[in-house]
Chains A and B, each alone.
Chain A
Protein backbone atom coordinates (compact mmCIF):
# COMPACT_ATOMS: atom_id res chain seq x y z
CA UNK A 1 0.00 0.00 0.00
CA UNK A 2 2.92 2.28 0.72
CA UNK A 3 4.06 1.73 -2.86
CA UNK A 4 1.06 3.64 -4.19
CA UNK A 5 1.65 6.77 -2.20
CA UNK A 6 5.39 6.91 -2.92
CA UNK A 7 5.10 6.21 -6.67
CA UNK A 8 6.73 8.97 -8.69
CA UNK A 9 4.62 10.83 -11.26
CA UNK A 10 5.28 9.56 -14.76
CA UNK A 11 4.36 10.59 -18.29
CA UNK A 12 0.98 9.43 -19.53
CA UNK A 13 2.27 7.13 -22.33
CA UNK A 14 4.74 5.44 -20.04
CA UNK A 15 1.97 4.83 -17.58
CA UNK A 16 -0.25 3.32 -20.26
CA UNK A 17 2.52 1.04 -21.50
CA UNK A 18 3.17 -0.10 -17.97
CA UNK A 19 -0.52 -0.65 -17.53
CA UNK A 20 -0.91 -2.99 -20.54
CA UNK A 21 2.17 -4.99 -19.58
CA UNK A 22 0.85 -5.25 -16.07
CA UNK A 23 -2.57 -6.38 -17.31
CA UNK A 24 -0.97 -9.15 -19.39
CA UNK A 25 1.07 -10.20 -16.35
CA UNK A 26 -2.03 -10.28 -14.19
CA UNK A 27 -4.08 -12.38 -16.60
CA UNK A 28 -1.27 -14.94 -16.84
CA UNK A 29 -1.09 -14.88 -13.08
CA UNK A 30 -4.82 -15.48 -12.71
CA UNK A 31 -4.63 -18.42 -15.13
CA UNK A 32 -1.92 -19.98 -12.97
CA UNK A 33 -3.92 -19.45 -9.78
CA UNK A 34 -7.01 -20.87 -11.48
CA UNK A 35 -5.06 -24.01 -12.43
CA UNK A 36 -3.93 -24.47 -8.83
CA UNK A 37 -7.47 -24.08 -7.53
CA UNK A 38 -8.86 -26.43 -10.19
CA UNK A 39 -6.32 -29.15 -9.40
CA UNK A 40 -7.02 -28.75 -5.68
CA UNK A 41 -10.78 -28.94 -5.95
CA UNK A 42 -11.59 -31.00 -9.03
CA UNK A 43 -11.04 -34.40 -7.33
CA UNK A 44 -13.70 -33.42 -4.81
CA UNK A 45 -16.12 -32.70 -7.63
CA UNK A 46 -15.32 -36.08 -9.16
CA UNK A 47 -15.92 -37.83 -5.85
CA UNK A 48 -19.19 -35.98 -5.42
CA UNK A 49 -20.62 -36.93 -8.80
CA UNK A 50 -19.41 -40.53 -8.43
CA UNK A 51 -21.20 -40.72 -5.10
CA UNK A 52 -24.42 -39.61 -6.80
CA UNK A 53 -24.16 -42.10 -9.68
CA UNK A 54 -26.07 -45.36 -9.81
CA UNK A 55 -24.14 -48.61 -9.56
CA UNK A 56 -24.99 -49.64 -13.18
CA UNK A 57 -23.74 -46.30 -14.49
CA UNK A 58 -20.46 -46.76 -12.64
CA UNK A 59 -20.09 -50.28 -13.98
CA UNK A 60 -20.63 -48.97 -17.50
CA UNK A 61 -17.59 -46.70 -17.22
CA UNK A 62 -17.19 -42.95 -17.45
CA UNK A 63 -19.03 -41.16 -20.21
CA UNK A 64 -19.18 -37.57 -19.05
CA UNK A 65 -18.60 -35.00 -16.35
CA UNK A 66 -22.18 -35.25 -15.10
CA UNK A 67 -24.14 -38.26 -13.81
CA UNK A 68 -26.92 -39.53 -16.09
CA UNK A 69 -29.17 -40.14 -13.06
CA UNK A 70 -28.75 -38.60 -9.66
CA UNK A 71 -29.39 -40.92 -6.77
CA UNK A 72 -29.03 -40.62 -3.02
CA UNK A 73 -28.97 -44.38 -2.73
CA UNK A 74 -25.27 -44.75 -1.94
CA UNK A 75 -25.54 -42.11 0.79
CA UNK A 76 -28.59 -43.74 2.33
CA UNK A 77 -26.92 -47.13 1.94
CA UNK A 78 -23.74 -46.23 3.82
CA UNK A 79 -25.66 -44.34 6.50
CA UNK A 80 -28.33 -46.94 7.18
CA UNK A 81 -26.76 -50.28 6.24
CA UNK A 82 -23.71 -51.64 8.00
CA UNK A 83 -21.61 -49.86 10.59
CA UNK A 84 -20.53 -46.60 8.96
CA UNK A 85 -22.91 -44.42 11.00
CA UNK A 86 -21.52 -46.05 14.12
CA UNK A 87 -17.99 -45.33 12.88
CA UNK A 88 -18.80 -41.65 12.42
CA UNK A 89 -20.01 -41.53 16.00
CA UNK A 90 -16.83 -43.29 17.15
CA UNK A 91 -14.71 -40.76 15.29
CA UNK A 92 -16.57 -37.81 16.81
CA UNK A 93 -16.27 -39.30 20.30
CA UNK A 94 -12.58 -40.19 20.06
CA UNK A 95 -11.58 -36.93 18.40
CA UNK A 96 -13.71 -34.86 20.78
CA UNK A 97 -12.47 -36.44 24.00
CA UNK A 98 -8.84 -36.38 22.85
CA UNK A 99 -9.09 -32.73 21.86
CA UNK A 100 -10.50 -31.71 25.24
CA UNK A 101 -7.81 -33.65 27.12
CA UNK A 102 -5.05 -32.24 24.93
CA UNK A 103 -6.24 -28.67 25.29
CA UNK A 104 -6.40 -28.86 29.10
CA UNK A 105 -3.05 -30.55 29.71
CA UNK A 106 -1.24 -28.59 26.99
CA UNK A 107 -2.59 -25.27 28.31
CA UNK A 108 -1.37 -26.00 31.83
CA UNK A 109 2.04 -27.14 30.65
CA UNK A 110 2.33 -24.34 28.10
CA UNK A 111 1.59 -21.75 30.77
CA UNK A 112 3.99 -23.40 33.21
CA UNK A 113 6.76 -23.40 30.62
CA UNK A 114 6.15 -19.84 29.51
CA UNK A 115 5.55 -18.17 32.85
CA UNK A 116 7.13 -19.94 35.79
CA UNK A 117 10.78 -20.29 36.71
CA UNK A 118 11.00 -24.06 36.59
CA UNK A 119 14.39 -25.58 35.93
CA UNK A 120 15.17 -27.57 32.80
CA UNK A 121 12.88 -25.57 30.56
CA UNK A 122 15.19 -25.86 27.57
CA UNK A 123 15.48 -29.60 28.00
CA UNK A 124 11.71 -29.97 28.14
CA UNK A 125 11.22 -27.79 25.05
CA UNK A 126 13.77 -29.87 23.16
CA UNK A 127 12.01 -33.02 24.23
CA UNK A 128 8.69 -31.60 23.04
CA UNK A 129 10.02 -31.21 19.53
CA UNK A 130 11.63 -34.64 19.39
CA UNK A 131 8.50 -36.25 20.79
CA UNK A 132 6.28 -34.39 18.36
CA UNK A 133 8.15 -35.77 15.40
CA UNK A 134 8.55 -39.27 16.69
CA UNK A 135 7.59 -41.62 13.81
CA UNK A 136 4.07 -42.95 14.44
CA UNK A 137 4.91 -46.36 13.03
CA UNK A 138 7.78 -46.74 15.50
CA UNK A 139 5.40 -46.10 18.39
CA UNK A 140 2.83 -48.61 17.24
CA UNK A 141 4.66 -51.87 18.01
CA UNK A 142 5.48 -51.28 21.68
CA UNK A 143 2.02 -49.91 22.39
CA UNK A 144 0.38 -52.83 20.62
CA UNK A 145 2.33 -55.32 22.72
CA UNK A 146 1.45 -53.38 25.88
CA UNK A 147 -2.24 -53.04 24.97
CA UNK A 148 -2.39 -56.71 24.13
CA UNK A 149 -1.25 -57.65 27.61
CA UNK A 150 -3.52 -55.20 29.46
CA UNK A 151 -6.59 -55.73 27.26
CA UNK A 152 -6.83 -52.30 25.64
CA UNK A 153 -6.88 -53.57 22.07
CA UNK A 154 -10.05 -52.86 20.10
CA UNK A 155 -10.97 -50.33 22.75
CA UNK A 156 -11.69 -46.69 21.96
CA UNK A 157 -10.15 -45.65 25.29
CA UNK A 158 -6.88 -47.14 24.10
CA UNK A 159 -7.12 -45.11 20.92
CA UNK A 160 -7.82 -41.91 22.86
CA UNK A 161 -4.69 -42.51 24.95
CA UNK A 162 -2.52 -42.95 21.85
CA UNK A 163 -3.96 -39.89 20.12
CA UNK A 164 -3.51 -37.89 23.28
CA UNK A 165 0.15 -38.74 23.77
CA UNK A 166 0.79 -38.13 20.11
CA UNK A 167 -0.86 -34.72 19.85
CA UNK A 168 0.22 -33.35 23.23
CA UNK A 169 3.88 -32.40 22.56
CA UNK A 170 3.29 -30.10 19.60
CA UNK A 171 0.16 -28.62 21.19
CA UNK A 172 2.24 -27.78 24.28
CA UNK A 173 5.01 -26.36 22.09
CA UNK A 174 2.57 -24.09 20.29
CA UNK A 175 0.80 -22.91 23.44
CA UNK A 176 4.10 -22.19 25.21
CA UNK A 177 4.92 -19.77 22.43
CA UNK A 178 1.42 -18.35 22.54
CA UNK A 179 1.35 -17.78 26.32
CA UNK A 180 4.79 -16.20 26.07
CA UNK A 181 3.33 -13.44 23.90
CA UNK A 182 0.57 -12.43 26.31
CA UNK A 183 1.55 -9.27 28.25
CA UNK A 184 2.64 -10.11 31.77
CA UNK A 185 0.95 -7.02 33.19
CA UNK A 186 -2.42 -8.73 32.79
CA UNK A 187 -1.81 -11.43 35.35
CA UNK A 188 0.31 -9.22 37.58
CA UNK A 189 -2.69 -6.93 37.91
CA UNK A 190 -4.90 -9.89 38.78
CA UNK A 191 -2.41 -11.11 41.40
CA UNK A 192 -2.14 -7.64 42.92
CA UNK A 193 -5.93 -7.67 43.13
CA UNK A 194 -5.66 -10.76 45.29
CA UNK A 195 -6.20 -13.60 42.84
CA UNK A 196 -4.17 -16.80 43.20
CA UNK A 197 -1.97 -17.90 40.31
CA UNK A 198 -4.43 -20.58 39.25
CA UNK A 199 -7.32 -18.09 39.40
CA UNK A 200 -5.33 -15.60 37.38
CA UNK A 201 -4.64 -18.31 34.85
CA UNK A 202 -8.28 -19.33 34.57
CA UNK A 203 -9.96 -15.91 34.70
CA UNK A 204 -7.42 -13.66 33.00
CA UNK A 205 -4.97 -15.59 30.87
CA UNK A 206 -7.19 -18.29 29.39
CA UNK A 207 -9.77 -15.84 27.99
CA UNK A 208 -6.96 -13.90 26.29
CA UNK A 209 -5.44 -17.12 25.01
CA UNK A 210 -8.66 -18.35 23.40
CA UNK A 211 -7.40 -17.96 19.81
CA UNK A 212 -4.31 -20.06 20.54
CA UNK A 213 -6.30 -22.68 22.41
CA UNK A 214 -8.82 -22.75 19.58
CA UNK A 215 -5.99 -23.34 17.07
CA UNK A 216 -4.66 -26.27 19.08
CA UNK A 217 -8.16 -27.69 19.43
CA UNK A 218 -8.86 -27.51 15.69
CA UNK A 219 -5.55 -29.04 14.67
CA UNK A 220 -5.85 -31.73 17.33
CA UNK A 221 -9.36 -32.57 16.16
CA UNK A 222 -8.27 -32.77 12.53
CA UNK A 223 -5.37 -35.04 13.48
CA UNK A 224 -7.66 -37.48 15.34
CA UNK A 225 -10.36 -37.31 12.69
CA UNK A 226 -7.84 -38.08 9.94
CA UNK A 227 -5.69 -40.74 11.53
CA UNK A 228 -5.67 -44.10 9.84
CA UNK A 229 -2.55 -46.01 10.87
CA UNK A 230 -3.15 -46.00 14.63
CA UNK A 231 -6.81 -46.95 14.22
CA UNK A 232 -5.77 -49.72 11.84
CA UNK A 233 -3.36 -51.14 14.39
CA UNK A 234 -5.49 -50.99 17.49
CA UNK A 235 -9.07 -51.53 16.31
CA UNK A 236 -10.19 -54.92 15.05
CA UNK A 237 -13.97 -55.01 15.25
CA UNK A 238 -16.24 -53.11 12.80
CA UNK A 239 -18.21 -51.77 15.78
CA UNK A 240 -15.13 -49.93 16.99
CA UNK A 241 -13.93 -48.65 13.61
CA UNK A 242 -13.35 -44.95 13.18
CA UNK A 243 -14.57 -43.38 9.95
CA UNK A 244 -11.35 -43.61 7.86
CA UNK A 245 -10.99 -47.28 8.81
CA UNK A 246 -14.62 -47.90 7.89
CA UNK A 247 -14.14 -46.33 4.46
CA UNK A 248 -11.19 -48.62 3.74
CA UNK A 249 -12.91 -51.76 4.94
CA UNK A 250 -16.56 -51.34 4.01
CA UNK A 251 -16.21 -50.07 0.45
CA UNK A 252 -14.96 -53.23 -1.11
CA UNK A 253 -15.77 -56.88 -1.13
CA UNK A 254 -13.34 -59.51 -2.28
CA UNK A 255 -14.60 -59.17 -5.82
CA UNK A 256 -15.62 -55.59 -6.30
CA UNK A 257 -14.80 -52.05 -5.27
CA UNK A 258 -17.97 -50.04 -4.71
CA UNK A 259 -16.81 -46.59 -5.78
CA UNK A 260 -20.23 -45.03 -5.23
CA UNK A 261 -20.24 -46.20 -1.59
CA UNK A 262 -16.60 -45.34 -0.97
CA UNK A 263 -17.09 -41.91 -2.46
CA UNK A 264 -20.29 -41.28 -0.51
CA UNK A 265 -18.37 -42.07 2.67
CA UNK A 266 -15.47 -39.88 1.54
CA UNK A 267 -17.88 -36.99 0.98
CA UNK A 268 -19.38 -37.45 4.44
CA UNK A 269 -15.98 -37.59 6.15
CA UNK A 270 -14.56 -34.67 4.17
CA UNK A 271 -17.49 -32.29 4.60
CA UNK A 272 -16.91 -31.34 8.27
CA UNK A 273 -13.18 -30.91 7.61
CA UNK A 274 -13.86 -28.67 4.61
CA UNK A 275 -16.23 -26.54 6.71
CA UNK A 276 -13.67 -26.25 9.50
CA UNK A 277 -11.06 -25.13 6.98
CA UNK A 278 -13.36 -22.53 5.49
CA UNK A 279 -14.34 -21.00 8.82
CA UNK A 280 -11.07 -21.34 10.72
CA UNK A 281 -8.56 -20.85 7.93
CA UNK A 282 -6.60 -18.16 9.73
CA UNK A 283 -6.26 -20.18 12.94
CA UNK A 284 -5.18 -23.31 11.07
CA UNK A 285 -2.53 -21.47 9.11
CA UNK A 286 -1.16 -19.80 12.23
CA UNK A 287 -0.89 -23.17 13.95
CA UNK A 288 0.61 -24.80 10.90
CA UNK A 289 3.26 -22.17 10.39
CA UNK A 290 4.21 -22.26 14.06
CA UNK A 291 5.15 -25.86 13.44
CA UNK A 292 2.50 -27.35 15.67
CA UNK A 293 1.30 -29.79 13.05
CA UNK A 294 2.57 -31.42 9.93
Chain B
Protein backbone atom coordinates (compact mmCIF):
# COMPACT_ATOMS: atom_id res chain seq x y z
CA UNK B 1 0.00 0.00 0.00
CA UNK B 2 3.02 2.30 0.17
CA UNK B 3 2.79 2.71 -3.58
CA UNK B 4 -0.24 4.90 -3.12
CA UNK B 5 1.56 7.39 -0.92
CA UNK B 6 4.50 7.89 -3.23
CA UNK B 7 4.15 10.52 -5.91
CA UNK B 8 3.52 8.97 -9.29
CA UNK B 9 6.96 8.41 -10.76
CA UNK B 10 6.33 9.07 -14.46
CA UNK B 11 4.63 12.33 -13.60
CA UNK B 12 7.37 13.19 -11.14
CA UNK B 13 10.03 12.43 -13.73
CA UNK B 14 8.28 14.55 -16.30
CA UNK B 15 7.74 17.35 -13.81
CA UNK B 16 11.41 17.22 -12.81
CA UNK B 17 12.50 17.34 -16.43
CA UNK B 18 10.36 20.39 -16.99
CA UNK B 19 11.34 22.07 -13.74
CA UNK B 20 13.62 24.51 -15.50
CA UNK B 21 10.85 25.71 -17.75
CA UNK B 22 8.36 28.31 -16.70
CA UNK B 23 5.10 27.02 -15.30
CA UNK B 24 1.90 28.51 -16.61
CA UNK B 25 -0.56 27.49 -13.90
CA UNK B 26 -2.79 24.74 -15.19
CA UNK B 27 -0.58 24.22 -18.25
CA UNK B 28 2.16 22.62 -16.15
CA UNK B 29 2.85 18.96 -16.62
CA UNK B 30 1.88 18.09 -13.06
CA UNK B 31 -1.48 19.72 -13.59
CA UNK B 32 -1.87 17.90 -16.89
CA UNK B 33 -1.11 14.66 -15.09
CA UNK B 34 -3.71 15.51 -12.49
CA UNK B 35 -6.33 16.36 -15.10
CA UNK B 36 -5.59 13.08 -16.84
CA UNK B 37 -6.04 11.30 -13.51
CA UNK B 38 -9.34 13.02 -12.75
CA UNK B 39 -10.58 12.07 -16.20
CA UNK B 40 -9.79 8.42 -15.54
CA UNK B 41 -11.24 8.33 -12.06
CA UNK B 42 -14.33 10.46 -12.66
CA UNK B 43 -16.66 7.79 -14.10
CA UNK B 44 -15.99 5.47 -11.17
CA UNK B 45 -16.39 8.24 -8.60
CA UNK B 46 -19.71 9.32 -10.05
CA UNK B 47 -20.92 5.73 -9.89
CA UNK B 48 -19.51 5.49 -6.40
CA UNK B 49 -21.56 8.45 -5.22
CA UNK B 50 -24.58 6.87 -6.85
CA UNK B 51 -24.04 3.67 -4.93
CA UNK B 52 -23.37 5.15 -1.50
CA UNK B 53 -24.73 8.63 -1.19
CA UNK B 54 -27.89 8.25 -3.22
CA UNK B 55 -29.41 5.15 -1.58
CA UNK B 56 -28.26 6.35 1.82
CA UNK B 57 -29.89 9.75 1.51
CA UNK B 58 -32.92 8.41 -0.31
CA UNK B 59 -33.41 5.67 2.28
CA UNK B 60 -33.32 8.14 5.13
CA UNK B 61 -35.68 10.42 3.19
CA UNK B 62 -38.12 7.59 2.44
CA UNK B 63 -38.03 6.38 6.01
CA UNK B 64 -39.58 9.69 7.10
CA UNK B 65 -42.19 9.71 4.33
CA UNK B 66 -45.21 7.70 3.29
CA UNK B 67 -44.05 5.53 0.39
CA UNK B 68 -46.75 2.88 0.55
CA UNK B 69 -48.00 1.95 -2.91
CA UNK B 70 -51.12 0.37 -1.41
CA UNK B 71 -52.13 3.84 -0.21
CA UNK B 72 -51.32 6.05 -3.20
CA UNK B 73 -53.24 9.00 -1.74
CA UNK B 74 -50.60 9.61 0.91
CA UNK B 75 -47.64 8.81 -1.38
CA UNK B 76 -44.71 11.09 -0.73
CA UNK B 77 -46.23 12.98 2.19
CA UNK B 78 -44.21 13.57 5.34
CA UNK B 79 -44.67 10.79 7.87
CA UNK B 80 -42.54 11.87 10.81
CA UNK B 81 -41.38 8.84 12.73
CA UNK B 82 -44.43 6.83 11.69
CA UNK B 83 -42.39 4.24 9.77
CA UNK B 84 -40.01 3.74 12.67
CA UNK B 85 -42.80 3.39 15.21
CA UNK B 86 -44.52 0.93 12.86
CA UNK B 87 -41.26 -1.00 12.63
CA UNK B 88 -41.13 -1.41 16.42
CA UNK B 89 -44.84 -1.87 17.09
CA UNK B 90 -45.33 -4.28 14.18
CA UNK B 91 -43.99 -7.01 16.45
CA UNK B 92 -41.68 -8.43 13.78
CA UNK B 93 -38.59 -6.29 13.96
CA UNK B 94 -37.14 -7.12 17.36
CA UNK B 95 -37.69 -10.91 17.16
CA UNK B 96 -36.11 -10.87 13.68
CA UNK B 97 -33.20 -8.83 15.00
CA UNK B 98 -32.53 -11.30 17.82
CA UNK B 99 -32.83 -14.28 15.47
CA UNK B 100 -30.47 -12.68 12.98
CA UNK B 101 -27.89 -11.80 15.62
CA UNK B 102 -28.11 -15.30 17.09
CA UNK B 103 -27.69 -16.96 13.73
CA UNK B 104 -24.82 -14.63 12.86
CA UNK B 105 -22.95 -15.45 16.07
CA UNK B 106 -23.40 -19.21 15.72
CA UNK B 107 -22.70 -19.42 11.99
CA UNK B 108 -19.60 -17.22 12.12
CA UNK B 109 -18.22 -19.18 15.09
CA UNK B 110 -18.83 -22.57 13.43
CA UNK B 111 -17.55 -21.47 10.03
CA UNK B 112 -14.50 -19.84 11.52
CA UNK B 113 -13.55 -22.91 13.55
CA UNK B 114 -13.92 -25.28 10.59
CA UNK B 115 -12.36 -22.77 8.20
CA UNK B 116 -9.28 -22.43 10.41
CA UNK B 117 -8.87 -26.21 10.60
CA UNK B 118 -9.24 -26.43 6.84
CA UNK B 119 -6.72 -23.64 6.28
CA UNK B 120 -4.15 -25.31 8.54
CA UNK B 121 -4.69 -28.60 6.68
CA UNK B 122 -4.28 -26.97 3.28
CA UNK B 123 -1.14 -25.17 4.39
CA UNK B 124 0.72 -28.50 4.33
CA UNK B 125 2.23 -29.63 1.08
CA UNK B 126 0.66 -32.82 -0.17
CA UNK B 127 -0.25 -34.54 -3.40
CA UNK B 128 -3.39 -33.24 -5.03
CA UNK B 129 -3.54 -30.03 -3.03
CA UNK B 130 -4.68 -27.88 -6.00
CA UNK B 131 -7.49 -30.33 -6.67
CA UNK B 132 -8.60 -30.25 -3.05
CA UNK B 133 -8.54 -26.47 -3.14
CA UNK B 134 -10.69 -26.46 -6.26
CA UNK B 135 -13.09 -28.95 -4.68
CA UNK B 136 -13.74 -26.75 -1.67
CA UNK B 137 -13.87 -23.62 -3.82
CA UNK B 138 -16.73 -24.87 -5.96
CA UNK B 139 -19.38 -24.61 -3.19
CA UNK B 140 -18.32 -21.01 -2.69
CA UNK B 141 -18.77 -20.24 -6.38
CA UNK B 142 -22.31 -21.56 -6.79
CA UNK B 143 -25.20 -19.10 -6.43
CA UNK B 144 -26.31 -18.78 -2.79
CA UNK B 145 -29.85 -19.54 -3.81
CA UNK B 146 -28.57 -22.73 -5.42
CA UNK B 147 -26.79 -23.74 -2.22
CA UNK B 148 -30.11 -23.26 -0.43
CA UNK B 149 -32.02 -25.36 -2.97
CA UNK B 150 -29.35 -28.00 -2.99
CA UNK B 151 -29.55 -28.48 0.77
CA UNK B 152 -33.33 -28.26 0.70
CA UNK B 153 -33.07 -31.21 -1.66
CA UNK B 154 -30.64 -32.99 0.69
CA UNK B 155 -32.86 -32.40 3.72
CA UNK B 156 -36.10 -33.38 1.97
CA UNK B 157 -37.89 -35.89 4.24
CA UNK B 158 -38.73 -38.23 1.33
CA UNK B 159 -36.08 -37.76 -1.31
CA UNK B 160 -33.29 -36.28 0.73
CA UNK B 161 -29.94 -37.85 1.41
CA UNK B 162 -29.85 -36.86 5.09
CA UNK B 163 -32.83 -38.93 6.16
CA UNK B 164 -31.80 -41.74 3.83
CA UNK B 165 -28.38 -42.09 5.44
CA UNK B 166 -29.80 -41.73 8.97
CA UNK B 167 -32.27 -44.50 8.24
CA UNK B 168 -29.68 -46.74 6.62
CA UNK B 169 -27.45 -46.43 9.67
CA UNK B 170 -30.40 -46.88 12.06
CA UNK B 171 -29.75 -43.52 13.65
CA UNK B 172 -32.39 -41.36 15.35
CA UNK B 173 -34.09 -38.41 13.61
CA UNK B 174 -34.46 -40.43 10.39
CA UNK B 175 -38.07 -39.27 9.98
CA UNK B 176 -37.47 -35.61 10.74
CA UNK B 177 -39.24 -33.02 8.64
CA UNK B 178 -36.18 -30.82 8.82
CA UNK B 179 -37.61 -27.60 7.46
CA UNK B 180 -40.91 -28.04 9.28
CA UNK B 181 -39.71 -27.26 12.80
CA UNK B 182 -37.90 -24.25 14.15
CA UNK B 183 -34.65 -25.72 15.44
CA UNK B 184 -34.16 -28.36 12.77
CA UNK B 185 -34.86 -25.69 10.14
CA UNK B 186 -32.15 -23.51 11.66
CA UNK B 187 -29.78 -26.48 11.68
CA UNK B 188 -30.44 -27.07 7.97
CA UNK B 189 -29.93 -23.39 7.20
CA UNK B 190 -26.69 -23.41 9.17
CA UNK B 191 -25.43 -26.42 7.22
CA UNK B 192 -26.26 -24.78 3.88
CA UNK B 193 -24.64 -21.51 4.95
CA UNK B 194 -21.53 -23.17 6.38
CA UNK B 195 -21.15 -25.44 3.36
CA UNK B 196 -20.96 -22.46 1.04
CA UNK B 197 -19.04 -19.98 3.20
CA UNK B 198 -16.50 -22.00 5.17
CA UNK B 199 -14.23 -22.31 2.10
CA UNK B 200 -14.15 -18.54 1.87
CA UNK B 201 -12.81 -18.22 5.41
CA UNK B 202 -10.42 -21.12 4.83
CA UNK B 203 -8.92 -19.57 1.70
CA UNK B 204 -8.54 -16.14 3.30
CA UNK B 205 -6.78 -17.67 6.31
CA UNK B 206 -4.69 -19.91 4.04
CA UNK B 207 -3.40 -16.85 2.21
CA UNK B 208 -2.46 -15.40 5.59
CA UNK B 209 -0.72 -18.61 6.63
CA UNK B 210 1.32 -18.80 3.47
CA UNK B 211 3.16 -15.57 4.16
CA UNK B 212 4.62 -17.07 7.36
CA UNK B 213 8.14 -18.22 6.47
CA UNK B 214 8.87 -21.86 7.24
CA UNK B 215 12.09 -21.06 9.11
CA UNK B 216 10.07 -19.28 11.81
CA UNK B 217 8.54 -22.66 12.65
CA UNK B 218 11.93 -24.37 12.40
CA UNK B 219 13.34 -21.87 14.88
CA UNK B 220 10.44 -22.40 17.27
CA UNK B 221 10.94 -26.14 17.04
CA UNK B 222 14.63 -25.83 17.82
CA UNK B 223 13.77 -23.62 20.79
CA UNK B 224 11.57 -26.46 22.04
CA UNK B 225 8.17 -24.85 21.56
CA UNK B 226 5.29 -27.33 21.33
CA UNK B 227 2.64 -27.38 18.64
CA UNK B 228 0.07 -25.47 20.71
CA UNK B 229 2.56 -22.89 21.89
CA UNK B 230 3.82 -22.34 18.35
CA UNK B 231 0.24 -21.90 17.16
CA UNK B 232 -0.73 -19.40 19.88
CA UNK B 233 2.53 -17.44 19.89
CA UNK B 234 3.47 -17.43 16.22
CA UNK B 235 0.64 -18.46 13.92
CA UNK B 236 -2.24 -16.53 15.50
CA UNK B 237 -0.47 -13.14 15.83
CA UNK B 238 0.76 -13.21 12.23
CA UNK B 239 -2.65 -14.38 11.08
CA UNK B 240 -4.46 -11.58 12.87
CA UNK B 241 -5.07 -9.28 9.87
CA UNK B 242 -6.41 -12.18 7.81
CA UNK B 243 -8.63 -13.24 10.71
CA UNK B 244 -10.03 -9.74 11.05
CA UNK B 245 -10.84 -9.48 7.33
CA UNK B 246 -12.44 -12.93 7.28
CA UNK B 247 -14.53 -12.20 10.39
CA UNK B 248 -15.72 -8.80 9.21
CA UNK B 249 -16.70 -10.11 5.77
CA UNK B 250 -18.45 -13.17 7.11
CA UNK B 251 -20.21 -11.43 9.99
CA UNK B 252 -21.64 -8.75 7.73
CA UNK B 253 -22.79 -11.16 5.05
CA UNK B 254 -24.17 -13.59 7.62
CA UNK B 255 -26.06 -10.72 9.24
CA UNK B 256 -27.60 -9.93 5.86
CA UNK B 257 -28.45 -13.54 4.97
CA UNK B 258 -31.37 -13.69 2.56
CA UNK B 259 -31.06 -16.09 -0.39
CA UNK B 260 -30.66 -19.27 1.64
CA UNK B 261 -33.63 -18.42 3.86
CA UNK B 262 -35.74 -17.56 0.82
CA UNK B 263 -34.86 -20.79 -0.94
CA UNK B 264 -35.17 -23.12 2.04
CA UNK B 265 -37.88 -21.89 4.42
CA UNK B 266 -39.37 -18.61 3.22
CA UNK B 267 -38.92 -17.47 6.81
CA UNK B 268 -41.05 -20.34 8.12
CA UNK B 269 -42.30 -22.38 9.80
CA UNK B 270 -44.43 -19.45 10.92
CA UNK B 271 -41.98 -16.58 11.32
CA UNK B 272 -39.41 -18.69 13.10
CA UNK B 273 -36.58 -18.31 10.57
CA UNK B 274 -37.45 -14.81 9.46
CA UNK B 275 -34.29 -12.71 9.47
CA UNK B 276 -33.90 -8.94 9.10
CA UNK B 277 -33.07 -8.92 5.40
CA UNK B 278 -36.09 -11.12 4.75
CA UNK B 279 -38.32 -8.82 6.82
CA UNK B 280 -36.91 -5.86 4.91
CA UNK B 281 -37.63 -7.53 1.58
CA UNK B 282 -41.11 -8.58 2.69
CA UNK B 283 -42.07 -5.06 3.71
CA UNK B 284 -41.06 -3.75 0.30
CA UNK B 285 -41.92 -6.56 -2.07
CA UNK B 286 -45.00 -8.10 -0.51
CA UNK B 287 -46.48 -5.16 1.35
CA UNK B 288 -45.31 -2.52 -1.16
CA UNK B 289 -44.45 -0.34 1.81
CA UNK B 290 -41.19 1.31 0.81
CA UNK B 291 -41.33 3.77 3.70
CA UNK B 292 -41.31 0.97 6.25
CA UNK B 293 -38.76 -0.87 4.13
CA UNK B 294 -36.53 2.21 4.18
CA UNK B 295 -36.77 2.42 7.97
CA UNK B 296 -35.67 -1.23 8.26
CA UNK B 297 -32.88 -0.61 5.72
CA UNK B 298 -31.62 2.33 7.78
CA UNK B 299 -31.60 0.10 10.87
CA UNK B 300 -29.70 -2.59 8.92
CA UNK B 301 -27.09 -0.09 7.75
CA UNK B 302 -26.60 1.32 11.25
CA UNK B 303 -26.19 -2.14 12.77
CA UNK B 304 -23.78 -3.19 10.00
CA UNK B 305 -21.68 -0.12 10.69
CA UNK B 306 -21.68 -0.87 14.42
CA UNK B 307 -20.56 -4.46 13.77
CA UNK B 308 -17.70 -3.30 11.53
CA UNK B 309 -16.69 -0.64 14.06
CA UNK B 310 -16.64 -3.17 16.91
CA UNK B 311 -14.32 -5.47 14.96
CA UNK B 312 -11.97 -2.68 13.94
CA UNK B 313 -11.82 -1.36 17.52
CA UNK B 314 -11.31 -4.83 19.01
CA UNK B 315 -8.45 -5.70 16.70
CA UNK B 316 -6.83 -2.30 17.05
CA UNK B 317 -6.64 -2.37 20.87
CA UNK B 318 -5.23 -5.88 20.74
CA UNK B 319 -2.46 -4.74 18.45
CA UNK B 320 -1.37 -2.06 20.91
CA UNK B 321 -0.86 -4.61 23.70
Contact = CB atoms under 8 A, between A and B. Distances in A.
B297 interface: yes
Contact of B214 (A3, A247, A270): A3
Interface string B221-236: 0000000000000000
A131 B48 contact: yes
A169 B304 contact: no
Interface stretch (A36-44, A77-85, A209-217): A36-44
A66 interface: no
Given A62-B161, A128-B48, A226-B143, A285 B304 contact: no
A169 B137 contact: no
A136 interface: yes
B258 A119 contact: no
A222 B138 CA distance: 12
Contacts of B214: 2-3
A109 B253 contact: no
B10 A112 contact: no
B150 A43 contact: yes
| Interface magnitude class on chain B | 35 or more
Given A116-B37, A141-B284, A278-B134, A263 B153 contact: yes
Interface string A135-148: 11111111111100
B33 A112 contact: no
A105 B47 contact: yes
Nearest to A130: B52
B190 interface: no
A269 B146 contact: yes
A42 B161 CA distance: 10
Interface in A243-294: 244, 247-248, 251, 259, 262-263, 266, 269-270, 273-274, 276-278, 281, 284-285, 288-289, 291, 294
A164 interface: yes
Contact of A133 (B43, B164, B195, B252): B252
Contact of B146 (A109, A181, A247): A247
B290 A144 contact: yes
Nearest to B131: A37
A124 interface: yes
B203 A118 contact: no
A112 B48 contact: no
A284 B137 contact: yes
Given A116-B37, A117-B11, A142-B62, A276 B284 contact: no
A186 B143 CA distance: 40
Contacts of B298: 138
A169 B51 contact: yes
B10 A115 contact: yes
Interface string B35-65: 0111111011101101110110011001000
B121 A32 contact: yes
Interface string B1-13: 1011001111111
A165 B50 contact: yes
A67 to B, nearest CB: 11
Interface string B76-114: 000000000000000000000000000000000000000
A40 B200 contact: no
Interface in A163-196: 164-166, 168-169, 172, 176-177, 180-181, 184, 187-188, 191
Given A40-B135, A284-B141, A289-B203, A137 B258 contact: yes
Interface string A114-130: 11111101101101101
Given A233-B284, A262-B153, 5 more contacts: A109-B41, A117-B7, A117-B33, A141-B58, A284-B141
What 10 pairs across the A-B complex have the smallest Cβ distances?
Answer: A116-B37, A112-B40, A109-B44, A180-B3, A142-B58, A118-B37, A289-B207, A226-B143, A138-B297, A112-B41
10 contacts: A40-B136, A106-B44, A117-B11, A117-B30, A125-B4, A142-B62, A222-B141, A228-B144, A281-B130, A291-B249
